[in-house]
Amino acid sequence: MKLSSRSWFALSVLFSLSVIIIVFATTFNEETIGYILHFNLLFLVLAIAFRLIALAIWGLRIQVMSGSLGYRVPLPHCVNMVLASLLAGAITPGQAGGEPVRVHELYRSGVKVGDAAAVVIMERVLDGVILTVMGVILMTLMTRLFWSSFSPALYLLVIVAWILMISFLIIPVLAIRYPVMTKKFLMKLAGWLVPKFSRWSGSSETLVKLADREIDNLFGSMSRFTGTARVGLFWGAISTGLFWIVEFLVASFILMGLGLGPAVIESFFFQILIAIVNMIPLTPGSSGITELSTTSLYAMIIPTGMIGIFVLLWRFITFYLNIILGAIAGLAIFKREIGRREIDEEEMEKT
């Protein structure tokens, strides 16, 4: 059964709210009300501010990487495409819907499809590299006592997370190392998929040729990122590191708002695991899965009565705020597309 965007959105919010309600119900005690009444709202404001700064850094990363390929994409446009991709990511399994949105918006700003895809793919690669490096560093900083408190289930989560990360990093490396073989595979896939869509039945050959051209552009761009455009890769890596650091500090501000220490090392490590698990396409927006993994991990450093409050506030900033900001950005894109269509229609009437 094919689900509409509204259905995916409803499922995403339903999964998230259901788990949060369950967490509240199972962790609520006589201390919970006191935690809520004494929460420092200043830290909530700081958490939201850092989240917005992180998104701006994400947009800057896209601008820098696109610029290294010879394109000038305005920073406001880059930030808007990031925001729009948040909404798409919130309603698609594994948050996979955000990438096509960013590719489309880069294309709308004059970037070739292959180059746009290369930028988005290298974004993911940089995320994987930076998260892996951060994870290794944090694991060495963790005390033996802390590791000894891990349950078998959490050990399994760590192992699965790193296997997924390593596998994800291998794919683009193989594409760069063996471009001919990879292109043959992608062209066979395109030749099989295109005819499946009836709306394209009259132009299958054209689309296959288009795919062939854009795959060449994609591989060429990825090669340039390791060659002539490596400055974009370098600054992309710097901005990626800044993005994740600022992003991960959101949870620490919430912890301080609850009267706890920032627990930077533990919190960063937990969020790396959560970020990797979120890549698994199990539920729309990884909702439900994120709340469960967050609860299981942060329960190790947060008093029981605080867990429900923490999960609710953290998910509001990192998930529900995504939906709000994404809807606003999507509306701006919709108005832009309507304006372009009207201009195109006027030009056709003149001719």
Distance CA 311, CA 20 (A): 7
The whole-number pLDDT of residue 79 equals 94
Contact 106, 66 (CB under 8 A): yes
- What residue type is assigned to position 187 of the chain? M
**Residues ≥6 apart with Cβ < 8 Å to 248:** 267, 268, 271
The whole-number pLDDT of residue 202 equals 47
**CB-count burial class (<10 Å; 0-12, 13-18, 19+) for 251:** buried
- What residue type is assigned to position 282 of the chain? L
Is pTM beyond 0.75 here?
yes
Contact 272, 1 (CB under 8 A): no
The whole-number pLDDT of residue 341 equals 76
The whole-number pLDDT of residue 282 equals 64
Quick check: 198 pLDDT over 50?
A: no
As a whole-number percent, the residues of the chain with pLDDT over 70 amount to 72
User: What are residue 284's DSSP bridge partners?
Assistant: 93
Higher pLDDT, 150 or 12: 12
The whole-number pLDDT of residue 201 equals 42
Mean of the per-residue pLDDT values of the chain: 80
The whole-number pLDDT of residue 207 equals 62
Higher pLDDT, 240 or 232: 240
**Average of pLDDT values for 65-89?**
90
The whole-number pLDDT of residue 190 equals 65
Distance CA 255, CA 43 (A): 9
pLDDT band for position 256 (cuts 50, 70, 90)? very high
What is the Cα 181 distance to its own chain's centre?
A: 29
The whole-number pLDDT of residue 267 equals 92
Quick check: 314 pLDDT over 90?
A: yes
pLDDT band for position 30 (cuts 50, 70, 90)? confident
Distance CA 137, CA 265 (A): 10
Higher pLDDT, 172 or 249: 249
Quick check: 318 pLDDT over 60?
A: yes
pLDDT in tens, 285-313: 667 788 888 888 898 889 988 998 999 99
Domain locations along the chain? 5-339
Distance CA 217, CA 334 (A): 28
The whole-number pLDDT of residue 203 equals 57
